[in-house]
Amino acid sequence: MKALTVVPMQAGSARLDDVPEPPESDGPVLVETLAVGVCGTDAEIVSGAYGWAPRGRERLVLGHESLGRVKETPPGAGLSVGDLVVGIVRRPDPVPCANCGVGEWDFCSNGRYTERGIKEHDGYCSERYRIEPEYLVKVSPALGTLGVLLEPTSVVAKAWEQIERIGGRAHWAPTRVVVTGAGPIGLLAALLGVQRGLEVHVIDQMTTGLKPDLVAALGASYHTGSIESACDSPDVIVECTGVGSLVFDAAEHVGPGGVVCLTGVSSGGRSIDVDAGLVNRSMVLENEVVVGSVNANRRHYEAAAEALAKADPAWLSRLVSRKVPLESWAQALDRKPDDVKVVIEVAR
């Protein structure tokens, strides 16, 4: 079967390969892949900056944002042939650590977790894959192909859960949120903010085009300047760019008792000047929190499915700004300034 593979940490190694059918050891459920979303992590892997091949192998099958259709399932797995499904990305470490042991693999504490399409486990960008039923999430037929947005939504559902748990340490009645970055993660974080009844401000560099339009269609405000000029004293800042200067701006400008949630994975290697004493003073005197958030466990996929079910399908479908057939995978990885979510169509 066809699969998009890469040699991790080797730029220019991605290619469309003929690979063996998925091994039974991956699980008893056979899924036909319909679509795979491309994100910044895939771009990093393809650029040779991130990713790990399965043990004893050189190449990794790419793809962690997926949508597929069940082709074969054992009885009693809670699945039927034809169901639309999304595969969960992370698997618990083999020890397992205390968090993985209770299904909170997104908080794995020994780093020995694996991730499909990213870390030591083949991803979903192949014509078929096998999987354990407990790592599949069913997608409502009403959502259809937009189910490919479930994995990135699970990442922001976890981020919002963290924000709310932290906010709940004292009286918590947030009203204003700033989201930095109008990529898929930023726009989905904004959607979940609007769904919570909050006043949402999204900051990005694009001055025209799809990103400002999508923010406006959500009923949120779009800005191209600083956090400070976009919103006075936000209760929550969801940082979705990983840009160092924005991270420190967020820590400095979040309102009293506020929470800054960092979701962008930056590559490092760039230094900035920061008045660390000033940032420290404002954070201490105003009980502010900066928290990092990565990945998602099953609870977050379920929260994400609920959020997508409540969203306007027309708005969600505009998030998918380009669809590219599997044979033209390279076009999907070539990011255009106005791209939001680019999807590789593995089957039509």
- Distance, in Å, from the CA atom of 112 to the CA atom of 9, rounded to the nearest integer, reads 19
Cα radius of gyration (the chain): 20
Name which of residues 50 to 79 contact ligand BGC (CB under 6 A): 64
Nearer to ligand BGC, 118 or 192 (CB): 118
**Residue of 159, 156, 143, 158 whose CA lies nearest to 67:** 143
Which residue is it, tokens 């699945």? 79
Is residue 2 helix, strand or coil? strand
**Pattern 239-278, ligand BGC, x by CB under 6 A:** ----------------------------------------
Tell me if 345 contacts ligand BGC by CB under 6 A.
no
Token pair belonging to 193: 């903010």
Instruction: Using alpha carbons, list the distances in angstroms from residue 119 to 99, 133, 324, 337.
Output: 19, 20, 25, 28
Q: Which residues contact 213 (CB under 8 A, 6 or more apart)?
A: 318
- Distance, in Å, from the CA atom of 78 to the CA atom of 98, rounded to the nearest integer, reads 27
- Min CB(158)–ligand BGC separation in Å: 9
Identify residue 303 by its one-letter amino acid code.
A
Beta-carbon neighbour count of residue 328 at 10 Å? 12
Nearer to ligand BGC, 142 or 265 (CB): 265
Name which of residues 118 to 137 contact ligand BGC (CB under 6 A): 118
Nearer to ligand BGC, 155 or 187 (CB): 155
Nearer to ligand BGC, 108 or 198 (CB): 108
- Min CB(41)–ligand BGC separation in Å: 3
Pick the binder of ligand BGC from 3, 61, 85, 115 (CB under 6 A). 115
Pick the binder of ligand BGC from 1, 39, 243, 283 (CB under 6 A). 39
Nearer to ligand BGC, 118 or 254 (CB): 118
Nearer to ligand BGC, 120 or 235 (CB): 120
Pick the binder of ligand BGC from 45, 155, 179, 203 (CB under 6 A). 155
Parallel, antiparallel, or unpaired for β 60-61 and 2-6? antiparallel
C-alpha dihedral over 80, 82, 88, 91, to 10 degrees? 50
Q: Where are the alpha helices (DSSP H) in the chain?
A: 40-46, 98-101, 150-167, 184-195, 210-217, 227-230, 244-253, 276-285, 298-310, 313-319, 329-333
Q: What is the 3 state secondary structure string of 19-42?
A: CCCCCHHHCCEEEEEEEEEECHHH
Pick the binder of ligand BGC from 89, 143, 156, 178 (CB under 6 A). 89
- Min CB(229)–ligand BGC separation in Å: 30
Nearer to ligand BGC, 118 or 246 (CB): 118
- Min CB(88)–ligand BGC separation in Å: 9
- Distance, in Å, from the CA atom of 4 to the CA atom of 61, rounded to the nearest integer, reads 6
Name which of residues 287 to 326 contact ligand BGC (CB under 6 A): 294-295
- Min CB(86)–ligand BGC separation in Å: 12
Nearer to ligand BGC, 155 or 215 (CB): 155
Total number of residues that touch ligand BGC (CB under 6 A): 11
Nearer to ligand BGC, 8 or 255 (CB): 8
List residues binding ligand BGC (CB under 6 A): 39, 41, 64, 89-90, 115, 118, 151, 155, 294-295
